[in-house]
Each structure stands twice: as C-alpha cells, then as structure tokens.
Amino acid sequence: MPSEVIAVNLTGSTLRVEVPQRSPLMETPHRIFFVNVLGFDVAQDFQGFVSEGLPNRAEIVQQVTKYLLGEGFVPKLNAEAEAVSRQIQVELEELAQAREAGAKAKQHPPDSLALPGFKRPLEPYQIPAVGHLLAVRNGANFSVSGSGKTTIVLAAYAALVQAQIVEKLVIIGPRSCFVPWEEEFAACFGREPAGIRITGDKPSRQKLFRKADDAELMLLSYQMASADTEELRTYLRQHKAMLVLDESHNVKRLIGGKWSDAVLSLAPDATRRVILSGTPVPNSLHDLWSQVTFLWPRTELLGSREEFRYRIENARTAADEIRSALSPLYWRIRKSELGLPTPRFHPVALEMKPYQKAIYDVLAAKVLAESVRPPTERVKLRMWRKARMVRLLQAASNPGLLTKYSTEFEVPPLEAAGLPVTELIEHYPQYEIPTKIEFIQELVREIVSKGQKVVIWTVFIHNIETLASLLHEFAPGVIYGGIPKDETEDAEFNREKIINDFKYSADQKILIANPSACAESVSLHKACHHAIYFDRTFNGAHYMQSLDRIHRVGLKADDKIHYYILQMKDSIDEVIDARLNDKQRRMLALLDDDFNVLNLDMDADEFSESDEEDADFAALLESLAAKASRPAPK
C-alpha cells in the first residue's frame, strides 16, 4: 500500500490535489474516481487533479480526504482546507446533539412555548413542531399541505430572534409563496414585515440586494437564488439569517440540478436552515439527498451522492434505514391530526344532449377500434394515449373544444374528416350549449346570490374563457398558465393580484382557474368554501392539491366545505372519477405515513401520472368495451 503525502490545497472555490512525480494516484483506478466520480480535471500545470467553482467545498474536501485515507495515502491539507475540515467536525458534533435533542423532543413534546411578540395562537399540534425545530437547530417539516408550516417556522423564528441567534429570515421558494409568507408574517406578528422581494432583471436585483440590509424578510425564487448565488452568499455572511427552502422538493435532483447545487453552496453560510415540503419524496428516495444535505451540508448525513444512489438502488432496506437515520431531524403533522371539518362532496351526474352524445359515442368507438394496434415505442405510445384521452374529455366537457388546439396538453385540433359527425364537430356551438355549462351557470348564480364565493376548476383554457364570458356580469377572475405571475411581469394584470382580489374584495365572487396554475402555496379557504369541478384529468396530484386550496388549517369547526363534481353519464368522466377516488385513498394513506412517495411533481401537460398511465388507460378501455357490449336501447 502506498504511503505518499498528497497535498490538498483549497483556495476559494478551487481545490488542487497535488501529487509527487510517478505517483500511483495518477493511475487508472484513482484517476477514474477523481475525474468521473468527483468531477475533477487532470491538471495541466502541475502533477495531480484540480476542480474549480466548487458548489460545496466541504463535501469535496471531505470526500477527497476520506478517499485518500482509505487508499493508504496521507492527505496534507493547507490552512483553508484544514479550516473547512474543522468545520466539518464541529457540524458533526452539532448533528449528534441535534439527533439527541430531536429524539427527546419527539418523546416529550412541549405543550406550551413562550414566544415574545408572537401574536397568533398556535394550534395544539403546531406547538410540538415548533419545539422540535428549535431543538434540532436545522430541521425539516414534512407536514401535510394546509397544516400551517409557515406559522411553525415564523414561531421558531420569533424565538431565535428573541435569543439573538438570528436577525433575518430568507425564504427561497416558488413565486406563489411570496404573498402567503408576507400575509402570515403580518398575522403572526401583528405588523407588516419589512420585506423585500428579489425579482426583476439582473441590474434591478443587484439594487435590491444593496437595499436588503434594512429588510427583515427576504423572498426570492429558486431561479433567482440560482442566478444570484454570490450576492445571496454575501448577504448570508453579513447577517445572522434563518434560510428556509419552501416547497423544498423543488431541489430534489440528486445530480445535475442547478437549483440544488446553488442552495447546497449557500447552506454553510446560513445561521439556521429549514426545509418545508408536504411531499419531500415526490418520485423516489433519490429526491431526499439534496434536501437533507442542505440542512447539514458538511456532514454527509446521507453519504455522498454516489454512495446514496448506490445504497437506495441496491439495498432492500434503504427506505427503513433512511427513515431511521432522519427520524430525529424532521417533524410531520399528518392529515388526521388537523381536525378539519369534513368536506361535503356532491357528485352531479348529467345527461349529454343529443348532438354531444352523438359526437362522444363516435369518438369512443374510434378509440376502442384504434386500441387494437397502438404504437409500440413508449414515447409515441404515451402521446397516442394522451391525445385520445384528451379528445374524449373534450367531448364530455364541451365538444366545442375539439376544433381548438389544446395548449394545455399540446394536442392539435381533431381531424374530423371521414367521421359521421364531422359536421356536428365543426359547427357544434351553433347547435346546442353543453349540459355542464348550463348547470355551472345556474349553480354559480345560486351560490353568489347567497353572498358566497366559488372557485371553478377546469383543465381547458377555452372553457375558462367561455365561462368568463357567460358570467361576465360578475367580472370573474381567471387564472391559467398564460396569465402573468406577478407585478414584475405585468403590474396591472397578474395571478397574484387576481388571487388577492378574490380573497379580499367583496365584489370578486368567482375565480375560474386551471389546477396546474394554482398548485403550490395558494390558500383560498378563508374566502371561499365552494369549488365546482367542470372537468378533471387522471392527474391525482393536481386534483388533490386543488381540493386543499379551500380545505386548510384556519377553518372553523362549523365551516361547510362543498365540492361539486360534474360528470357526464356513460363517459370518461366516470372512469376518471373512479380512478381519482382510488388514487386519493392511496395518497391519503401515504399522507399518514412518514415518507410519502407521491408523484406530485408533474408538468402542467401531464394528463395522467407516468406510473399510473397504463392502469388509467386500461380502465378507460374496459369502460368503453363494456359500454359497447351493451344491447342498444329499443
């Protein structure tokens, strides 16, 4: 075994591993580790390896040191590398203390907390969560959507400010979380925050960073945090800040994630770190590494990236081992603990009008006939299936959609030539008004006449525009992907303003929205207790998230929450309903588990979750075949 001394020299974000001439460290096995695993380059101006622009210096220094010792070399660290190494030892000691404190906080949770200056009363299930977060220093809250994670963090922040441990609160999250943080801050402290949003172009953002010293609350998106890493790093080094990743599953990527690399590089400079997500494992256990490593960036709590990936892909007990390792460090409030009023679901079965039924039956027969010879290549098969499911949903929802390009799902207008209903499809709006549209108008007018508000969910933009026109006297708010997100995109017309008007304006009674555009961090429950579902896809994630918009912490015990689920008889609506009910049952069971692996991380154009698509389409074909085999009515 070699016993050479290997110089490990760290200067800023550059790490040099310098070796003697003819060193075995330059031979193939070691070269592969440094170049292919750690991402080093073979140095051109000295013997050894070099890595520049390190996103996480401590992690790499630790891996290099560990590897050299394991291979029998003697690493000699320069002063900066030695300082980083010492920081690792300090953090390892803090992590051990956090594990012990977190376990105690779970075994003996507090039933009260002294929080000077904090005005909002905490719910009984929130108090232990705050106590746990304070105990573990850097912690995760994986509580279900609507449980008050923002309030929990603000309560912990109040205690840390009082103890003079932190002085600033920095939130990185989706832009839709900005207003909730500002509103919750005001509700919790009884005053508006001295806040600043880091938005706009680069020169504008640089000016905002220069003004940020006077702000207590800083808000920025994952995109901006990634683009302005150095400015944010400087800010964190200058101030004692609690750095929070809201909807932290946005940085789930294990390897090659720009956002995850950015927040991991920022983590060591934060005084306290918190991650928040109701779905920390949206696709697989791979999603945990970046989130957890952000909390303890110098400790390799879950091992290196490669070690972690190998472990979860090859060890049958990986999930149990990871849960056991992380258990003291995270808190989870389950749906069953919230004590929310039970919502009322109103299934509404509607009959198709004659022309709509004729169009639907022809398209259903066409899908059934074509299913005998579908494409064999997976990508083409998915596109083929999606197009046919979209067509049937359009026909069941509003046949007028069939001649429109579906921007939501990137499905072109239906080529109706050769079909026996070509004329009906091309001129459908001239013949009849779909039953769903008539019913929605009546129901909305009834709800509004009682002084109540209502949100209408539909996946199709054309349906949003049609309803907005038919209900124009109420000046409904409309939200879909094409609507600007906030005032930085359009000062007068943006989603943030539309949602705000719906929540707080007595004149704004109706919101018509696409579920994918109102997914994360939108709370409507204090203003609205009625939701109408014009149509739904097989996408269980969007459906459950839309349900949570009006069913959240803050509701009174006697509040009545109503969901109206519109379904056309003998249509894809009934198949979707059965599949969504099944998915909801499975998801709710997972939400009462610690690590819910839910596919809640999908693009807006996902009609069906990729891992559920086979079952969804099979259920549709089974329904179509059963209907086709029925005797024709006499």
pLDDT in tens, 426-460: 999 999 999 999 999 999 999 999 999 999 999 99
- Does 597 have pLDDT greater than 60? no
Does 278 share its domain with 217?
A: yes
CA quadruple 100, 101, 105, 107: dihedral, nearest 10: 20
- Does 318 have pLDDT greater than 90? no
Q: At 132, which helix (H) or strand (E)?
A: helix 126-136
Residue 297 lies in a domain: yes
Contact present, 4 and 23 (Cβ < 8 Å): yes
Contact present, 196 and 181 (Cβ < 8 Å): no
More confident residue, 415 or 616: 616
Q: 3-state class of 223 per DSSP?
A: helix
How far is it, in rounded angstroms, from Cα 399 to Cα 426? 9
Does 35 share its domain with 117?
A: no
Instruction: Show which of 27, 42, 77 is a domain's final residue.
Output: 77
b/e 156-169 (16+ beta carbons within 10 angstroms → b):
bbbbbbeeeebebb
Residue 375 lies in a domain: no
Contact present, 202 and 227 (Cβ < 8 Å): yes
Residue 41 lies in a domain: yes
b/e 594-604 (16+ beta carbons within 10 angstroms → b):
ebbbbbbbbeb
pLDDT in tens, 563-577: 999 999 999 999 999
- Does 601 have pLDDT greater than 80? no
How far is it, in rounded angstroms, from Cα 245 to Cα 249? 9
Residue 191 lies in a domain: yes
Cα dist from 186 to 151, 217, 218, 246, whole Å:
11, 11, 14, 18
Q: 3-state class of 62 per DSSP?
A: helix
Amino acid sitting at position 379: V
Packing angle of the helix pair 288-295, 318-326 (nearest 10 deg) = 20
- Does 607 have pLDDT greater than 80? no
Query: For residue 623, what are the contacts with CB-CB under 8 A and spacing of at least 6?
Result: 572, 574, 575
More confident residue, 631 or 355: 355
Nearest to 467 by CA among 406, 524, 510: 510
Instruction: Show which of 77, 107, 124 is a domain's final residue.
Output: 77
How far is it, in rounded angstroms, from Cα 383 to Cα 412? 12
Residue 321 lies in a domain: yes
Residue 365 lies in a domain: no
pLDDT band of residue 488 (cuts 50, 70, 90) is: low
Domain that holds residue 531: 434-582
Q: 3-state class of 415 per DSSP?
A: coil
Nearest to 19 by CA among 40, 47, 42, 60: 47
* pLDDT over 70 percentage in the chain: 92
* Domain CATH number, residue 236: 3.40.50.10810
Does 153 share its domain with 283?
A: yes
Q: At 439, which helix (H) or strand (E)?
A: helix 435-449
DSSP character string of 353-396 = PHHHHHHHHHHHHHHHHHTTS--SSHHHHHHHHHHHHHHHHHHH
First to last CA, the chain: 90
Give residue 553's pLDDT: 85
| Number of compact structural domains in the chain | 3
pLDDT in tens, 516-563: 887 666 889 999 999 999 999 998 878 888 898 999 888 998 999 999
Complete edge-to-edge strand list for the sheet that includes strand 477-479: 344-350, 562-568, 530-533, 454-457, 510-513, 477-479
Q: Which DSSP letter does residue 418 get?
A: T
Give residue 197's pLDDT: 96
How far is it, in rounded angstroms, from Cα 104 to Cα 363? 61
- Comparing 86-95, 334-343, 609-618, which segment has the lowest mean pLDDT? 609-618
Does 68 share its domain with 164?
A: no
Contact present, 60 and 300 (Cβ < 8 Å): no
Does 300 share its domain with 180?
A: yes
pLDDT in tens, 197-231: 999 999 999 999 999 999 999 999 999 999 999 99
* Domain CATH number, residue 576: 3.40.50.300
How far is it, in rounded angstroms, from Cα 547 to Cα 11? 51
Instruction: Show which of 281, 308, 337 is a domain's final residue.
Output: 337
Does 35 share its domain with 110?
A: no
Q: At 438, which helix (H) or strand (E)?
A: helix 435-449
Does 118 share its domain with 151?
A: yes
Does 71 share its domain with 192?
A: no
- The total number of residues written for the chain in this structure: 634
What is the reported pTM? 0.76
Write out 273-327 in H/E/C secondary structure: EEEECCCCECCCHHHHHHHHHHHCCCCCCCCCHHHHHHHHHHCCCHHHHHHHHHH
Residue 404 lies in a domain: no
Does 47 share its domain with 135?
A: no
Does 188 share its domain with 295?
A: yes
Residue 381 lies in a domain: no
Q: At 160, which helix (H) or strand (E)?
A: helix 149-162
Mean pLDDT of 339-357: 95
Does 130 share its domain with 166?
A: yes
Give residue 493's pLDDT: 65
Does 135 share its domain with 247?
A: yes
pLDDT band of residue 305 (cuts 50, 70, 90) is: confident
pLDDT in tens, 70-125: 999 999 999 999 998 888 889 999 999 999 999 999 999 999 999 989 999 999 99
How far is it, in rounded angstroms, from Cα 570 to Cα 383? 24
